Structure 1
């Protein structure tokens, strides 16, 4: 009995090392729950959203297609404001169905007709045409998503699987036996009822590792839970740009704070709230409709939100605040904030976000710093030891005017170190301090070589960082150098994520 118990504990240690402890698994789940509550029609699925960080696993995302609505039969309460599909299980394999068009074909949008095939007098949704049409639409905006993988659209690196789903609001009759299926312990009646009421996609946390809660053992000291939780948050932050507004704030509060009153859920809630407060002031507002008082109120409002956004990492919040002051021509205040942010770029900061698509090995200094803070709360560690990229919403009101052309593809991101030196140059330029301008330009060039290795040069962050040098050269009158930079970047930027091609044409 003792031998079996020892072997079980060794296996538990191994699983904790391989996929994470119960706290890590819960932390990853909470991260994905926070992500899903921020997107109305996105649902995380697969092993990663279950909290299992298994080598080689991808990120599975489901998106609800709002163009179609599925009903089991015509007897259901059919809503005709959208293209309606009715299930047809005639001559189909078990668990499969054909989807027959109920809406008048002539009333459909031409894009909706492209995914339908006619059989006799009826139109059916074509699996092949549906995926091809979705893939074509995605590839225009995100060229890396160019592969059809089973029912999903995948990227070049097989890091993501995107499934575009059709929603049926009612619990279909074929699935009714599942409700009364005999169960020993899993799933609990409460979870079954939640699934029946809300649909499987609304299940906020599965019980994949439910037996972990019945085990107690001290994790091997080599397994620094704090380190892995920080890495998980950084990785998810890199993969998702989370939108934010007051409605999403209330949803996060309900999902993460009330049901699970733990320090971990509280910290993750605060992290996403703080990161969201960085995004909200970047949303564009039409200034021409505002009088001076409204503009001043908006200015104070943005400052208060950016101050609340200082808690998600060590640098980004300060640079967003500096950008706001720059846009409002408070150059000296902006310079002070930039200098403070630059002082935070130290060797122990965890900035794996920028260097690779996979989790990197911690440097000794980074690991030591995390070990020193292993008794601190997760939110404290994230605020003190991590650095994330800057995210600006489309047509952001706090993005410097010199970069307004960069949001041609929607939301825009920048590497914080390169952005800091570029913003420092802009402040000095408008203060007519051209000696400091030259210093900032030199620091910008050095920082790009330091933070972005050659193998990642074609990444979006690298291209935008390199574009800073071209803009600086153009502002200083070095037109030939600027043209050379823009031309080089334009050749690498096949998808036009930067304004290099536009700037090159403007130079003539």
Structure 2
């Protein structure tokens, strides 16, 4: 899913890469969404002269008097005025400043309490980390030794070749305390690391996950040890040990042995203040960081944990509270399937990633997705491309012009049909929201009876077995998922027929009902689908003077809110906004005020 989103999010000026643990396939408690945006208009070179393009900016790596793993980026050529404003003079040469890049991104694009965190801009809730980066298409000389260093079968020649062909990225952060810190950029092997982790056996991935759990749940809970270690150090240790051991060792029956070997290496690294970068061993990442008294405190903590052997993982409540009675051993395929469904429904990071994709500004994503889907030969990937094309459908349509009511004018008719066909692609990623967007189009073009027909169809799908964001699966869901039609279907197919997404509107949406636009724009743009269905039904009946049906729709809206029926707990206030508007139109000002409160 991450790869599909990344492929479809790429546009003319930048490439989007989901990185960090989530990009590597681990959705764990406390994880966040790390997104790298790589500029396509800037190219970094080391010693290879690129084919000149006057529209590009060219930067040259300058590693003199810079710590290994970092570089200054000297300006060679640019005609971009905005980029020149992010440059600084140093010793008579012009350098691209990482600090100025972050400050500009922070001041221009983020105004809601975001903070600068390392090379990233972080949102106020600590869920999203966004990093601007630049790309070097060739493999850099300081990491050349990695290509020939390993004599084991891991990583394979093909994986190394793929990593080398990608090159490296640079992110805006320098060595702390360096006199040139604001000008320095750190070499990022994020894509290489993802490709390496994709080769992991399940045992390797479990060792990595267990180390991360111990770090987050046990070590970092000690205020003296907080922020001393990070997941990147653990990943580095796993990489080194994977290179040293034959693949035959990384088997399930060796899990405890492999885990303890990794933990032993972590203790060793802290004891001797040495953690060598996997691709550039000249860079000791513990230098000037894990030293002195803090090293002694951390080492004591690790030794205490180590004295418990593998049982040290039980200090994490994620492990110690694991309910074994929920699982039948050997684990049945159905149990794993339900676990996958539960993970997707509960995952806040996946929801955030998909929401970011849906609101992405580039309208070419839609056409790119169609091309990817047609050229893709793997059936399961076709489903994924179709899923994300569908997610984009409503956002795509909302950006199209819609000139009032439907008129029997040839141009207007063509415009209307284009709008409708784009919206119809939106019905393939969930069971309800796509159809409600179509109903919104009919409402906006004053085709109220057609809108009501679709709303009734949508409401008929809002049954207790449906899934929605943040849901805890009940017995009803377990029984539904056990039915034969679902057992052999992939999760994307399941989302199409069982998931109910939220209704989202663009800032300048041409689909948002006028009554909702006046009250809501600038406050929120996400509504529970079932609440919106009753609200839109109320509006349609209101405009065609169906008094009794108006009252029925209003009572239906009040009932689903009161019972939180198919409405996530965190989304109730948005449902009350819909109720308040409906009550106000109905003439019940006092109840409307209460709903708004």
CA–CA separation in structure 1 for the residues paired with 2:520 and 2:87:
35
CA–CA separation in structure 2 for the residues paired with 1:178 and 1:57:
29
| Mean Cα deviation higher: 462-471 or 418-427 | 462-471
Task: Report if the CA contact (8 A) 1:284-1:394 is conserved.
Answer: no
> Does the alignment pair 1:400 with 2:507?
no
> Does the alignment pair 1:284 with 2:400?
yes
Question: Any unmatched runs of 5+ in structure 2?
Answer: 169-189, 204-247, 254-328, 359-364
Among 467, 474, 478, the residue aligned to 1:363: 474
Task: Report if the CA contact (8 A) 1:71-1:85 is conserved.
Answer: yes
- How far 1:226 moved relative to its partner? 2.3
1:119 is aligned to 90
> Does the alignment pair 1:49 with 2:165?
no
> Does the alignment pair 1:475 with 2:589?
no
CA–CA separation in structure 2 for the residues paired with 1:207 and 1:102:
35
CA–CA separation in structure 1 for the residues paired with 2:18 and 2:550:
46
Partner SS, residue 245 of structure 1: helix
Cα distance change, pair 159–228 in 1 and its aligned pair in 2 (3 A): farther
Partner SS, residue 131 of structure 1: helix
1:177 is aligned to 145
CA–CA separation in structure 1 for the residues paired with 2:396 and 2:523:
15
CA–CA separation in structure 2 for the residues paired with 1:34 and 1:344:
28
CA–CA separation in structure 2 for the residues paired with 1:193 and 1:295:
53
Partner SS, residue 124 of structure 1: strand
Cα distance change, pair 135–449 in 1 and its aligned pair in 2 (3 A): farther
Among 501, 520, 537, the residue aligned to 1:388: 501
1:435 is aligned to 548
Task: Report if the CA contact (8 A) 1:230-1:378 is conserved.
Answer: yes
Task: Report if the CA contact (8 A) 1:393-1:410 is conserved.
Answer: no
Alignment of 1:201-212 (within 5 A): 206-208=196-198, 210-212=200-202
CA–CA separation in structure 2 for the residues paired with 1:266 and 1:443:
38
| Mean Cα deviation higher: 476-485 or 298-307 | 476-485
Partner SS, residue 240 of structure 1: helix
| Mean Cα deviation higher: 475-484 or 298-307 | 475-484
| Mean Cα deviation higher: 393-402 or 76-85 | 76-85
Larger radius of gyration: 2
CA–CA separation in structure 2 for the residues paired with 1:194 and 1:374:
36
- How far 1:291 moved relative to its partner? 8.8
> Does the alignment pair 1:240 with 2:354?
yes
| Mean Cα deviation higher: 469-478 or 154-163 | 469-478
Cα distance change, pair 302–386 in 1 and its aligned pair in 2 (3 A): same
2:115 is aligned to 147
Q: CA RMSD in A?
A: 3.9
> Does the alignment pair 1:130 with 2:101?
yes
Cα distance change, pair 219–193 in 1 and its aligned pair in 2 (3 A): farther
Cα distance change, pair 292–226 in 1 and its aligned pair in 2 (3 A): farther
Cα distance change, pair 436–53 in 1 and its aligned pair in 2 (3 A): same
Task: Report if the CA contact (8 A) 1:83-1:108 is conserved.
Answer: no
Cα distance change, pair 328–153 in 1 and its aligned pair in 2 (3 A): same
- How far 1:51 moved relative to its partner? 1.9
> Does the alignment pair 1:295 with 2:412?
yes
Please give the per-residue CA displacement for 1:91-135, whole angstroms capped at 9, x wherever unaligned. Answer: 111121112334579x733x862x444434334344444333323
CA–CA separation in structure 1 for the residues paired with 2:70 and 2:149:
20
CA–CA separation in structure 2 for the residues paired with 1:253 and 1:45:
27
Cα distance change, pair 394–156 in 1 and its aligned pair in 2 (3 A): closer
TM-score, structure 2 normalization: 0.63
1:447 is aligned to 560
Partner SS, residue 163 of structure 1: strand
Please give the per-residue CA displacement for 1:387-428, whole angstroms capped at 9, x wherever unaligned. Answer: 111234453343323344589669943321221121111101
Cα distance change, pair 93–104 in 1 and its aligned pair in 2 (3 A): same
Please give the per-residue CA displacement for 1:177-207, whole angstroms capped at 9, x wherever unaligned. Answer: 3333435333333333333334467778655
2:331 is aligned to 220
Please give the per-residue CA displacement for 1:232-254, whole angstroms capped at 9, x wherever unaligned. Answer: 54442453233541222212454
Q: Give the paired residue count.
A: 436
Task: Report if the CA contact (8 A) 1:37-1:252 is conserved.
Answer: no
Task: Report if the CA contact (8 A) 1:282-1:398 is conserved.
Answer: yes
CA–CA separation in structure 2 for the residues paired with 1:131 and 1:240:
25
Which has the bigger relative contact order, CA under 8 A and spacing at least 6?
A: 1
Please give the per-residue CA displacement for 1:7-30, whole angstroms capped at 9, x wherever unaligned. Answer: xxxxxxxxxxxxxxxxxxxxxxxx
CA–CA separation in structure 1 for the residues paired with 2:41 and 2:593:
45
> Does the alignment pair 1:465 with 2:584?
no
Alignment of 1:229-268 (within 5 A): 229-234=340-345, 235=347, 236-241=350-355, 242-243=357-358, 244-254=365-375, 257-258=376-377, 261=378, 264-268=380-384
Among 334, 354, 361, the residue aligned to 2:451: 334
Among 81, 85, 97, the residue aligned to 1:108: 81
